Each structure stands twice: as C-alpha cells, then as structure tokens.
Amino acid sequence: MTGANRGLGRHFARRLLERNFWGTLAVVRAFAPVLSANGGGAILNVLSAQSWHAYPGTNGYHASKAAHWALTKGVRLELAEQGTLVTGLHLGAVDTDFRAGYDGPKGDPGVTVRAGLDGIEAGEVEVIADAWRAHVKQALAGHPTRLSDEIRAGIV
C-alpha cells in the first residue's frame, strides 16, 4: 500500500489494536483487583503524541493509540473509586532500542521515565513528556487544519 492507505492494512491495524487497546485492557483488568485489595495504587499508560494526530502512513498506529488514550480515560473513571490513579504519559520518539532505526529527534528515556513517575507522585492524570508534545496537544484546541498543515510542512 502507498500514500494514505499505508498503515491501514487490516491485519496490521488489528495487531496494533490488539497490543495497544486489548493488551492494555488485559493488564489493567489483571492488576486492578490487586491494587484494590491493597487500597489503591497507580497505573501509568504509555501513550503517544500520535494519540492526537497521524503522520502520512501511520493511520493504523494512530487509530490504535487514539483507542489506547480513550481506554486510559475510561479506566481512570472506573478505577478512581478504588483509589487507583490512572495516568497517561504522552511521548514521542525516545532513544531506545525500539526506535534505533528512526533518524529524527529522540527524547532521553531517563527524562521521560522521570516525567511519568513525577506525574504519578503529583497525582496527575495526564503527563506531557516534553515541550514538543505540549505544542501538539495545544494545537488540538486551534483550527482543525493547523496541526495537519504543520505536519505537511515538516514543522511537527
């Protein structure tokens, strides 16, 4: 597939949804009773700036991370009464083995982990890992084409 259809192959998209949505739901369901029995706790869901937007060719990944974000918000409401905080950590490329082949800018994994842990300690429901992700999130409140225009121009 090419162009706008890349990343939308049925099997590929299903694998991404299986991992990012159903896999996360399975882990939350497994740990929620344990956390409840211990008076609550915290779950940190590692999301992506692509929860909010897609790049050309990443539609399947974008859809799976948007579903992951929606799931995070939903289980947050469900688990709050048992004293469990559910925090979403939004990040982009981080300098790990997973992104070894990516040539663009990458965040420091230590800084990203610290942001997530600090967010949990502060009781935050959403943590934006860096200034770039904050820009992307803020752009969502603007005109719907602003972020798309920035992506096409190579700004974001």
Q: What is the pLDDT of residues 62-74, one digit of tens each?
A: 999 999 999 999 9
Please write down the long-range contacts of 71-79, taking CB distance under 8 Å and 24 or more positions apart. Answer: 71/21, 71/24, 71/25, 71/28, 71/45, 72/24, 72/45, 72/47, 75/25, 75/28, 75/32, 75/43, 76/125, 79/28, 79/32, 79/35, 79/43
Q: What is the rounded average pLDDT of the residues 136-155? A: 84
Q: What is the rounded average pLDDT of the residues 37-55? A: 93
Q: What is the pLDDT of residues 92-134, one digit of tens each?
A: 888 888 778 888 788 888 999 999 999 999 999 999 988 878 8
pTM, full prediction? 0.85
> Tokens for 111?
């800084």
